[in-house]
């Protein structure tokens, strides 16, 4: 297992974003998958100043700052320029002075965004109705909501259309986009790897900062300052730095307590780069050295992780990977203390869309077994990001120290 004991230069990739042509190819794949059905993909509109674009829309366009935008896929349109239409909200000069100036529709805008047709959202109902009357089939691409949640925007829109156009059928094609996103392109893998390399520097900074009395907040600050210093573009999620009893809380976020001699600290954090996420967990001893008991349980978790990583391969299901890790932990009589699943997909979102199918080459997943014993104020989680390859797997985060001896060596250099 590789680890880093000294800082190294994090060199940004030559192409720090997905090229326009790749977005265009993705949209062509959707058109082909839809057959004769039309479909909408929405950017979303909630959040106001804190608007976060829907990741499916981002995956197909690269656009992150257009609240209310929509894509219409219309594969049977006679005019090839109208088979994919991007709809943007009308300009509002008063609002745009607050929220950001926006471009007029023009050839330059179409070229910059990679679309042959860009219209305003006020025209979307007409074009959707036109497609529905012609093809009589509307496909849901956004994953369905649970029954306790609101109906997804595309399905709600189609139901309104079906009330007004006779014979329109609504199809379930919610498998199309998750499967596309699960298999990462070379560019996406480059961006994920760079986010992980930046994250490595944050964890190295944490190992050199942590100590008795330093406090969770200072460790968090050291991590996130290192991300910024090495070109990180924000956080993949709010960092977790939990010491002692806090290490047993899976989604602990206060990060304001003391760090005391003899305790362990679980750090779960990840940088973001080019829109893509890293997600790493390491467990560190506050004093710089593990106790005999801590080392024994840590090694069980590490063996469980190694077993799970070995189970990662094309065709494997998450339940099989989980079972490989759980068997190791249960054999150590610690099964009741492994209280979560083994991992998740990683990409544009830290919990990236899951197609609920066996893993395919190009998928990036997290492998993160853990043991949490509140009565002993002891929590241990080890998490790495793993690429599924045609022959098996590749640990993308192997340069981040994780054996007890590696961690003690790096922390000893403080």
- 35-68 pLDDT tens trace: 999 999 999 987 777 899 999 999 999 999 999 9
* CATH number of the domain residue 312 falls in: 3.90.230.10
Query: 211 with 342, same domain?
Result: yes
Instruction: Find where tokens 């899951």 sit.
Output: 354
1 falls in which pLDDT band (50, 70, 90)?
Answer: very low
* Residues comprising the chain, all counted: 414
Q: What do you get for the CA distance between the two ends of the chain, in Å?
A: 22
Tokens read off for 385: 């990001």
Whether the pLDDT of residue 297 is over 60: the answer is yes
Instruction: Say how many C-beta atoms besides its own lie within 10 A of residue 67's C-beta.
Output: 17
Query: 262 with 404, same domain?
Result: yes
Helix (H) or strand (E) holding 188: helix 186-209
Whether the pLDDT of residue 14 is over 80: the answer is no
- Which pLDDT does position 15 carry in this prediction? 67
- Which pLDDT does position 55 carry in this prediction? 98
Percentage of the residues of the chain whose pLDDT score is greater than 90: 92
Which among 363, 349, 355, 358 is positioned nearest to 396, based on CA atoms? Answer: 363
Query: 130 with 191, same domain?
Result: no
Query: 38 with 146, same domain?
Result: yes
Query: 81 with 226, same domain?
Result: no
Domain boundary (134, 152, 181) is at 181
The C-alpha atoms of residue 140 and residue 126 are separated, in whole angstroms, by 19
Whether the pLDDT of residue 7 is over 60: the answer is no
Query: 255 with 168, same domain?
Result: no
Q: Using the 8-state DSSP alphabet, how is residue 244 labeled? A: G
Alpha carbon separation from 107 to 22, 110, 112, 250, 308 (Å, rounded): 20, 5, 9, 50, 51
Domain range holding 147?
20-181
Number of folded domains in the chain?
A: 2
Does any domain span residue 4?
Answer: no
Task: Provide the CA 255 distance to its chain's centre, in angstroms.
Answer: 22
pLDDT in tens, 19-41: 999 999 999 999 999 999 999 99
Task: Provide the CA 389 distance to its chain's centre, in angstroms.
Answer: 19
Tokens read off for 22: 């790749």
Which among 375, 401, 369 is positioned nearest to 285, based on CA atoms? Answer: 401
99 falls in which pLDDT band (50, 70, 90)?
Answer: confident
Query: 260 with 405, same domain?
Result: yes
- Which pLDDT does position 100 carry in this prediction? 84
Domain boundary (181, 197, 226) is at 181
Query: 177 with 194, same domain?
Result: no
The C-alpha atoms of residue 223 and residue 204 are separated, in whole angstroms, by 8
369 falls in which pLDDT band (50, 70, 90)?
Answer: very high
Q: Which long-range contacts (C-beta less than 8 Å, at least 24 apart) are formed by 221-230?
A: 223/267, 223/269, 224/269, 226/198, 226/201, 226/202, 227/198, 227/199, 227/201, 227/202, 227/271, 229/201, 230/10, 230/197, 230/198, 230/201, 230/271
Does any domain span residue 225?
Answer: yes
Query: 322 with 347, same domain?
Result: yes
Domain boundary (181, 209, 235) is at 181
If you average pLDDT over residues 332-356, what whole number do you get?
98
Query: 91 with 201, same domain?
Result: no
Does any domain span residue 167?
Answer: yes
∠ Cα 168 170 176 (to 5°): 135
* CATH number of the domain residue 41 falls in: 3.40.350.10
- Which pLDDT does position 11 carry in this prediction? 79
- Which pLDDT does position 3 carry in this prediction? 57
If you average pLDDT over residues 127-136, what whole number do you get?
98
The C-alpha atoms of residue 153 and residue 223 are separated, in whole angstroms, by 38
Does any domain span residue 15?
Answer: no
The C-alpha atoms of residue 106 and residue 88 are separated, in whole angstroms, by 12
pLDDT in tens, 380-414: 999 999 999 999 999 999 999 999 999 999 999 98
Does any domain span residue 237?
Answer: yes
Task: Please give the mean pLDDT across all residues of the chain.
Answer: 96
Does any domain span residue 378?
Answer: yes
Does any domain span residue 13?
Answer: no
Does any domain span residue 390?
Answer: yes
pLDDT in tens, 108-119: 999 999 999 999
If you average pLDDT over residues 149-170, what whole number do you get?
97
Percentage of the residues of the chain whose pLDDT score is greater than 70: 97
Query: 171 with 203, same domain?
Result: no
Query: 122 with 56, same domain?
Result: yes
**How many separate helices (H) and strands (E) can be counted in the chain?**
12, 16
If you average pLDDT over residues 295-320, what whole number do you get?
98
pLDDT in tens, 238-284: 999 999 999 999 999 999 999 999 999 999 999 999 999 999 999 99
Which among 293, 324, 330 is positioned nearest to 404, based on CA atoms? Answer: 293
């Amino acid at each position: 297992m590789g680890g880093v004991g000294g800082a190294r230069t994090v060199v940004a990739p030559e192409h720090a974003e997905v090229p326009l042509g790749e977005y265009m190819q993705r949209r062509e794949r959707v058109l082909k998958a839809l057959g004769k059905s039309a479909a909408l993909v929405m950017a979303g509109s909630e959040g106001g100043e804190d608007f976060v674009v829907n990741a499916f829309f981002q995956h197909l366009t690269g656009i992150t700052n257009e609240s209310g935008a929509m894509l219409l896929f219309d594969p049977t349109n006679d005019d090839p320029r109208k088979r994919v239409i991007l709809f943007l909200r009308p300009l509002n000069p008063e609002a745009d002075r607050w929220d950001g100036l926006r471009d007029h529709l023009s050839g330059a805008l179409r070229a910059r965004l990679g679309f042959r047709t860009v219209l305003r959202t006020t025209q979307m109902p007409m074009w959707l109705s036109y497609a529905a009357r012609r093809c009589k089939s509307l496909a849901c691409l956004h994953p369905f909501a649970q029954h306790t949640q609101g109906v997804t925007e595309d399905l709600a829109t189609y139901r309104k259309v079906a009330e007004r156009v006779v014979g329109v059928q609504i199809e379930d094609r919610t498998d199309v986009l998750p499967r596309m996103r699960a298999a990462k392109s070379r560019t996406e893998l480059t961006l994920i790897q760079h986010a992980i390399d930046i994250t490595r520097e944050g964890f190295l900074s944490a190992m050199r900062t942590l100590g008795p009395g330093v406090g969770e907040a200072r460790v968090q600050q050291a991590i996130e300052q290192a991300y910024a210093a090495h070109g990180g573009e924000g956080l993949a999620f709010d960092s977790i730095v939990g010491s002692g009893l806090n290490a047993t809380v899976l989604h602990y976020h206060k990060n304001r307590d003391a760090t005391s001699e003899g305790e362990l600290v679980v750090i779960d954090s990840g940088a973001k780069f080019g829109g893509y996420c890293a997600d790493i967990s390491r467990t560190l001893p506050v004093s710089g050295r593990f106790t005999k008991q801590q080392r024994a349980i840590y090694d069980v978790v590490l063996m469980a992780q190694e077993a799970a990583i070995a189970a990662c391969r094309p065709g494997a299901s998450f339940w099989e990977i989980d079972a490989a890790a759980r068997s190791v932990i249960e054999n150590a009589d610690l099964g009741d203390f492994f209280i979560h699943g083994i991992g998740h997909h990683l990409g544009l979102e830290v919990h990236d869309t899951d197609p609920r199918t066996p893993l395919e080459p190009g998928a990036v997943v997290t492998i993160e077994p853990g043991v949490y014993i509140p009565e002993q104020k002891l929590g241990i989680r080890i998490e790495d990001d793993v690429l599924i390859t045609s022959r098996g797997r590749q640990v993308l985060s192997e340069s981040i120290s994780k054996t007890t001896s590696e961690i003690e060596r790096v922390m000893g250099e403080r």
